[in-house]
């Protein structure tokens, strides 16, 4: 018991101690909104994050009770109180509703995604269901009939956890998640049944990954035409996970699923262990058609694009948390015969500086896309900005996922043996963060999506014009450094030229120094 005891490190307010965010917001937000947003984010860091940390520390993986004592199949999904508490905190905070109230107009995405970034390391991947809830809201905003807009959108965006809905997304099946053309789930129209929410179908099939299994509704792809048509005979459906769908606040939602949905099993995962990811059987589940028949993939892409930005911001959020721990530790741990704090040691600082640089670059990169999404959703984006967002979304998601785990490993080692201990939580961050390389599109599949995007007229030109303008606006000293960025773009162009077997217009020229 005697002897040296390592002093504990203290993580500060994640917003006010952050090396990047305040400058980023100054650059992106008008001064009229900045003051209010700055005060709100300071409160978020002071009050909400400690609340989340306390809840997160008590989180337990979900359990499934498939049969009751009478031998009846019940499929009762039991999530822990901490998980439900984290969801409620974020709903009360308006993390989803903010994006649809749009108080700060086109800047609402930057504001809301900053909260996502700040909370990611302390919330047990709660943004998995919340991001899909956000995406589902956008789909209903774009494709929903007046009844869906009246009854469902207010639930998805509610700040009251007793009535708020969350939504899941069911795309992936056993024959393929990246390529959904072999989807086995079939939807059959029920001609004599009507619903205010649209044409009624029953769905039969097997969904291989369902992460928001505790949600109220899901957006599902199912086949409505011949399998020979591949993904072009898939339609999009809104599926209730329990019936009746609408309940009053004094009628709590049962944890058991109904609507003829069975939980085959819960997934055994490397990380995201608190998220109730399951395999599901749908045996005649009622569902409502959304959007035009056989255009399901196109109709669900707003969900993909919104959740891909959550994924990018989560990858950056994991680095933020790990770097904040490593930085805090450098202020209490001594080396060199106990004479020097790590924060004053040049060699150690160079390690942290490298991670810091990755964090800065990725934060600016992802928030560039977030700012564009805000503009598009408020109908104030130019056509060029819209095209640029299309290309940037898969790029930021892939880059952030790729660099995040490497950066977190550096932070882990920056605490020495302490970093490898479960108690610091860096191991959990790494395990949770790894999934960003897979869900919502693997990195190679996102690369193919960039190729899909640039093959549409005007997309590459819009991007390159912006690169040129951005580089020309840089001070000449920076321009010289940025030539490496230029080289990268030129390399990409040359690869694309080869892929298309024709030269891709070399719009990028080295700006005059
Ligand atoms: C914590 C934060 C993170 C959030 C986590 C949430 C939990 C995770 C849940 C999941 O992982 S859900 C499953 C996610 N699955 C994927 O991301 C699938 C990855 N695969 C793809 O993205 C494929 O590219 C895709 C399935 C979309 C390919 O399908 P198709 O049918 O072969 O695509 P096709 O025929 O090229 O495109 C159909 C139409 O959609 C085209 O439009 P047109 O009909 O007008 O020509 C495309 O241009 C359009 N499209 C495709 N991708 C698009 C898009 N439009 C806009 N944005 C996109 N990303
Ligand atoms: P595959 O598509 O079989 O990919 C296998 C490998 O092949 C990958 O390396 C991939 O990059 C590569 N590959 C695929 N196509 C190509 C190509 N054309 N060219 C080159 N390489 C290629 N899905 C949902 O629908 N809803 C959910 O809620 C959900 N939650 C998830 C939760 C977790 C924790 C995880 C891990 C996954 C979840 N998924 C969910 C599924 C996820 O979206 C898929 O796993 C992912 O899209 C990849 O699909 P797949 O698993 O079928 O892999």
Q: How many angstroms does the Cα of residue 301 sit away from the middle of ligand 1? A: 5
pLDDT at 478: 59
Q: How many angstroms does the Cα of residue 233 sit away from the middle of ligand 1? A: 15
In tens, the pLDDT along 36-69 reads 999 999 999 999 999 999 999 999 999 999 999 9
Q: How many angstroms does the Cα of residue 353 sit away from the middle of ligand 1? A: 36
Q: Residues with Cβ within 6 A of ligand 2?
A: 168-172, 176-179, 209-211, 269, 272, 277, 435, 438-439, 441-442, 444-445, 448
d(CA 152, CA 144) in angstroms, rounded, equals 9
pLDDT at 513: 36
pLDDT at 467: 77
d(CA 207, CA 219) in angstroms, rounded, equals 12
Q: How many angstroms does the Cα of residue 279 sit away from the middle of ligand 2? A: 14
Please choose, from the candidates 443, 439, 485, 489, the residue with its C-alpha nearest in 3D space to the C-alpha of residue 464: 489
User: In this structure, which ligand is nearest to the CA of 120?
Assistant: 1
User: In this structure, which ligand is nearest to the CA of 446?
Assistant: 1
Q: How many angstroms does the Cα of residue 302 sit away from the middle of ligand 1? A: 9
Instruction: Give the sign of the dihedral formed by CA 254, CA 260, CA 266, CA 267.
Output: negative
Q: How many angstroms does the Cα of residue 140 sit away from the middle of ligand 1? A: 17
Q: Which residue has a Cα nearest atom 18 of ligand 2?
A: 445
Count CA within 13 A, CB hemisphere, residue 386. 11
- Tens digit of pLDDT at every position of the chain (513 positions): 789 998 999 999 999 999 999 999 999 999 999 999 999 999 999 999 999 999 999 999 999 999 999 999 999 999 999 999 999 999 999 999 999 999 999 999 999 999 999 999 999 999 999 999 999 999 999 999 999 999 999 999 999 999 999 999 999 999 999 999 999 999 999 998 889 999 999 999 999 999 999 999 999 999 999 999 999 999 999 999 999 999 877 888 888 999 999 999 999 999 999 999 999 999 999 999 999 999 999 999 999 999 999 999 999 999 999 999 999 999 999 999 999 999 999 999 999 999 999 999 999 999 999 999 999 999 999 999 999 999 999 999 999 999 999 999 999 999 999 999 999 999 999 999 999 999 999 999 999 998 899 888 888 888 888 877 777 776 666 555 555 555 555 555 555 555 555 454 444 444 443
pLDDT at 459: 83
Our mutation pick for probing the ligand 1 site, out of 440, 445, 455, counting the most ligand atoms within 8 A of Cβ, is 440
d(CA 185, CA 5) in angstroms, rounded, equals 59
Please choose, from the candidates 232, 443, 251, 413, the residue with its C-alpha nearest in 3D space to the C-alpha of residue 333: 413
Q: Which residue has a Cα nearest atom 27 of ligand 2?
A: 210
pLDDT at 168: 98
Closest ligand 2 atom to 442 CA: 11
d(CA 67, CA 337) in angstroms, rounded, equals 61
Q: How many angstroms does the Cα of residue 267 sit away from the middle of ligand 2? A: 14
Our mutation pick for probing the ligand 2 site, out of 177, 206, 431, counting the most ligand atoms within 8 A of Cβ, is 177
pLDDT at 457: 82
Q: How many angstroms does the Cα of residue 168 sit away from the middle of ligand 2? A: 16
Q: What angle do CA 227, 229, 232 make, to 5 degrees?
A: 115
Taking each helix axis from N to C terminus, what angle separates 383-413 and 426-434, rounded to the nearest 10 degrees?
140
Which pTM does this prediction carry?
Answer: 0.94
Q: Residues with Cβ within 6 A of ligand 1?
A: 125, 127-128, 131-132, 169, 171-172, 177-178, 180-181, 211, 231, 297-298, 301, 304-305, 307, 310-311, 314, 439-441, 445, 449, 452
- Lookup: tokens for 58: 């008590």
Instruction: Give the sign of the dihedral formed by CA 78, CA 80, CA 84, CA 87.
Output: negative
pLDDT at 512: 41
d(CA 7, CA 329) in angstroms, rounded, equals 9
In tens, the pLDDT along 248-298 reads 778 888 889 999 999 999 999 999 999 999 999 999 999 999 999 999 999
Burial of 212 (0-12, 13-18, 19+ CB in 10 A): buried
Q: How many angstroms does the Cα of residue 138 sit away from the middle of ligand 2? A: 23
Q: How many angstroms does the Cα of residue 435 sit away from the middle of ligand 2? A: 10
User: In this structure, which ligand is nearest to the CA of 212?
Assistant: 2
Our mutation pick for probing the ligand 1 site, out of 301, 311, 394, 401, counting the most ligand atoms within 8 A of Cβ, is 301
Query: What is the ipTM score, two decimals?
Result: 0.99
Our mutation pick for probing the ligand 1 site, out of 304, 306, 311, 314, counting the most ligand atoms within 8 A of Cβ, is 304
């Amino acid at each position: 018991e005697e002897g040296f005891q390592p002093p504990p490190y203290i993580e500060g307010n994640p917003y006010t101690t952050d090396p990047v965010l305040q400058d980023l917001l100054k650059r992106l937000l008008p001064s009229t909104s900045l003051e209010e947003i700055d005060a709100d984010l300071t409160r978020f860091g002071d009050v909400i994050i400690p609340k989340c940390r306390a809840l997160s520390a008590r989180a337990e993986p979900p359990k499934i009770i498939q049969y009751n004592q009478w031998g009846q199949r019940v499929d009762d999904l039991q999530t822990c109180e901490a998980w439900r508490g984290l969801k409620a905190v974020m709903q009360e905070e308006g993390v989803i509703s903010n994006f649809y109230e749009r108080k700060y107009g086109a800047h609402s995405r930057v504001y809301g995604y900053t909260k996502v970034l700040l909370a990611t390391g302390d919330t047990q991947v709660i943004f998995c269901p919340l991001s899909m809830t956000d995406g589902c809201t956008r789909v209903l905003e774009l494709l929903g009939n007046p009844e869906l807009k009246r009854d469902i959108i207010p639930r998805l965006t509610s700040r009251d956890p007793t009535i708020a809905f969350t939504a899941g997304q069911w795309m992936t099946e056993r024959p393929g998640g990246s390529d959904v053309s072999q989807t086995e789930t079939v939807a059959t129209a029920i001609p004599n049944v009507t619903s205010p929410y649209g044409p009624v179908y029953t769905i039969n099939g097997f969904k291989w990954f369902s992460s928001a299994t505790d949600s109220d509704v899901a957006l599902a792809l199912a086949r409505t035409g011949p399998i020979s048509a591949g993904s072009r005979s898939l339609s999009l459906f809104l599926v209730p996970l329990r019936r009746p769908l609408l309940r009053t606040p004094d009628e709590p939602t049962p944890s058991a699923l109904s609507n003829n949905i069975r939980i085959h099993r819960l997934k055994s995962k490397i990380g995201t262990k608190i998220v109730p990811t399951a395999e599901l059987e749908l045996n005649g589940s009622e569902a409502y058609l959304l959007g035009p028949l056989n255009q399901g993939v196109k109709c669900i892409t707003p969900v993909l694009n919104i959740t891909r930005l959550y994924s990018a911001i989560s990858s950056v959020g994991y680095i933020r948390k790990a770097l904040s721990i490593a930085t805090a530790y450098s202020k209490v741990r001594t080396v060199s015969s106990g004479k020097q704090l790590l924060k004053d040691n040049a060699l150690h600082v160079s390690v942290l500086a490298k991670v810091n640089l990755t964090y800065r670059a990725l934060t600016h990169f992802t928030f560039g896309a977030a700012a564009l999404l805000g503009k598009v959703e408020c109908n104030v984006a130019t056509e060029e900005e819209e095209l640029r967002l299309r290309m940037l979304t898969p790029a930021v998601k892939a880059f952030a996922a790729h660099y995040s785990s490497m950066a977190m490993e550096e932070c882990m080692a920056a605490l020495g043996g302490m970093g490898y201990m479960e108690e610091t939580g860096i191991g959990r961050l790494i395990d949770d963060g790894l999934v960003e390389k897979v869900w919502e599109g693997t990195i190679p599949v996102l690369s193919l999506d960039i190729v899909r995007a640039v093959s549409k007229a005007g997309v590459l030109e819009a991007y390159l014009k912006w690169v040129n303008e951005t580089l020309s606006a840089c001070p000449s000293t920076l321009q010289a450094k940025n030539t490496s960025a230029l080289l990268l773009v030129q390399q990409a162009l040359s690869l694309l030229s080869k892929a298309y077997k024709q030269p891709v217009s070399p719009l990028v020229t080295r700006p005059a120094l």
